[in-house]
Structure 1
């Protein structure tokens, strides 16, 4: 499905069409990222005076995250000009993107936004330059929570010896290993079936994906842990980017930032409504006590320390300086 924002005026100038897609397929138009991309298209249209037209697709690039990135890098027929990509995918290009996926590296939305919109986020995006990609701005999915069937997750070690699905990426695997879980790495497409069959009994996700995947049918509780923050980068094909005028690049950059603020606001609003909707579907929502949350932070400290050793010290130093300000 393709949504095209028509230009306001052409002024007799050639109109250039750019395409943007999400990393997930078949997203409904009311999802925050889809609404964010529509807002991006509107702003580009407005600020370029119709010189640039952005088409927004509800479908995505087929294949694994790695294959999606290769398609964006290669460009050409059928490839998007811009794409929303999450950090677990981008860490295959530069490992430092993984930092935002580590447990408890940020403690709230304000801190996450300050990190990504400041020197740390800019340093990460700049590392795409050597990969045929250009990073424009940071959007988000929000914080991840943990859902369960059977015994709820209310204490730091309640997942011990239980089969838990995680994104098959090192940061997620190691996080749940230190919590004692029997870790099962599965793509999202296989998640519902694995939960329904009882192969796994728990998983972590942000609220919108719990709802989108109808996980409330096969999970009875959600525990609010905010243990990992899901950041999304707006990324352009560098060859396409370089062909644009400086004026048009500025239009796209500004639009990505402005639409990102809009998208984040939608995510914050959605968190409240999604929690209520999950409860209406029969899920019990548990909030961790301060003491049990502190235990989770302590248990996962070894993961943060282990992974920080693998990253460019310059990036880690920027992260630590920025965190110290908050």
Structure 2
């Protein structure tokens, strides 16, 4: 896969310059601010994404840059957030462990997806289950309401602090060869999925032969024919050049991906209440900005994929309903293992449609 480097834009302040670095544990942290503000030393905090293959135009990267600007503004220059183009290598567990333990080479904050956070508290996985979220509005009501707050509060016992919810948006299905037009079109076909239980069980329920692989191995698996299909965000399809090895994208919105901005609790405790408030408010505001970017990008990604030669179409309401029915056992399987408190909160916000015991 080709490395993609940041495009530098005129008018950016130095602390907004982002440089994409891949293959390194921690890239140089990029920010340039005065050493002193109001006769007090600046406190510098670092933030990273869970991926290292992004460029400066990606919504999460732009969100982190916005976050850094808001923190600087809100603290009158007392706090500085540096944005790194690298990430913590390894599994989701490795990333969380590095954030928990801290240290001179660890980030102070990370953007972590719910499949990673389910290794801390399994209930984070609820957002990844098929068809538990049906719209952007519903997703945001869940994350910004009691469900999201309860999930974030559970991080405190694990050496972490949840600041705000961001997102990747909805996942779609791509294929080579036969298009995904009917709910049963994945039967006995090798489909690459994230190596996490919710995704494995979802595609088993759709009849697929599951191929569990991390993202860096995806392109080659599709190119070699080891996998014929996969599910992902349109942005990741573009970043990964998957249009070179997949012919069709079917818009299904079958799974929603939430991102949490998470801080090391030891770092958090060293901050004043005033500075904690600045960080939290900035993370929430930057999250609104990032979500808007995600929705805007979703509108243009399909056109860009079509420009690259992919056929893009939407699954019919009838076939979507069939997909929901086929994956109903998956939802109930996972619901039975979750803390009833989370399910009660979810039921109160969404209704009783998906909850049975």
Which TM bucket (shorter chain)?
over 0.9
* 1:55-103 deviation per Cα after TM superposition (whole angstroms, max 9, x unaligned): 0001111221111110000001100000000000000010000000000
Distance change in 2, residues 1:183/1:191 (3 Å): same
Contact 2:247-2:310 at 8 Å conserved across structures: yes
Query: Any conservation in 1 of the 2:120–2:158 contact (CA below 8 Å)?
Result: yes
Question: Which has the higher relative contact order, 1 or 2, with Cα contacts under 8 A spaced 6 or more apart?
Answer: 1
Give yes or no for contact 1:139–1:263 (8 Å, CA) kept in 2. Answer: yes
Residue pair 1:72, 1:79 contacting (<8 A) in 2 also: yes
1:27-77 Cα shifts (integer Å, max 9, x gaps): 211110000000000000000000000000011112211111100000011
Q: Does 1:145 align with 2:185?
A: no
Q: CA deviation at 1:285?
A: 0.7
Q: Deviating runs (4+, > 4 A) in structure 1?
A: none
How far 1:125 sits from its partner (Å)? 0.6
Report the number of matched residues: 326
Alignment-derived partner of residue 61 in structure 1: 88
Do the aligned partners of 2:143 and 2:149 also contact (CA within 8 Å) in 1? Answer: yes
Contact between 1:220 and 1:284, CA under 8 Å: does it hold in 2?
yes
- Compare 21-30 and 183-192 and name the one that shifted more: 21-30
Checking the alignment, whether the CA contact within 8 Å between 1:100 and 1:231 is kept in structure 2 is yes
In the alignment, which residue of structure 2 is the partner of 1:104? 131
Q: Which residue is 2:62 aligned to?
A: 35
Q: How does 1:299-314 map to 2 (within 5 A)?
A: 299-314=326-341
Partner Cα separation in structure 1 for residue 56 and residue 277 of structure 2: 27
Work out whether residues 84 and 233 of structure 1, in 8 Å CA contact, stay in contact via their aligned partners in 2.
yes
List per-residue Cα deviations over 1:266-309 (Å, max 9, x = no partner).
00010011110000001011211111111111111110011000
**1:213 corresponding residue in structure 2:** 240
Task: Establish whether residue 278 from structure 1 lines up as the match of residue 321 from structure 2.
Answer: no
User: 1:3, CA displacement in angstroms?
Assistant: 2.7
Distance in 1 between residues matched to 2:34 and 2:278, nearest whole Å: 14
Distance 1:7 1:95 in 2: 43
Which of 100, 107, 110 is 1:73 aligned to?
A: 100
Counterparts of 1:243 and 1:49, CA distance in 2: 19
Q: Specify the SS of the correspondent of 1:210.
A: helix
Deviation of 1:8 after TM superposition, in Å, equals 10
Unaligned runs of 5+ in 1: none
Compute the TM-score of the two structures, normalised by the length of structure 2: 0.90
1:325 positional shift: 10
Corresponding position of 1:262? 289
Segments of 5+ residues of structure 2 without an aligned counterpart are: 1-18, 20-28
Equivalent residue for 2:14? none
TM-score (norm 1): 0.98
Deviations 1:117-147 (A, max 9, x none): 1110000011101100000000000000000
Correspondent of 2:345 among 300, 314, 318: 318
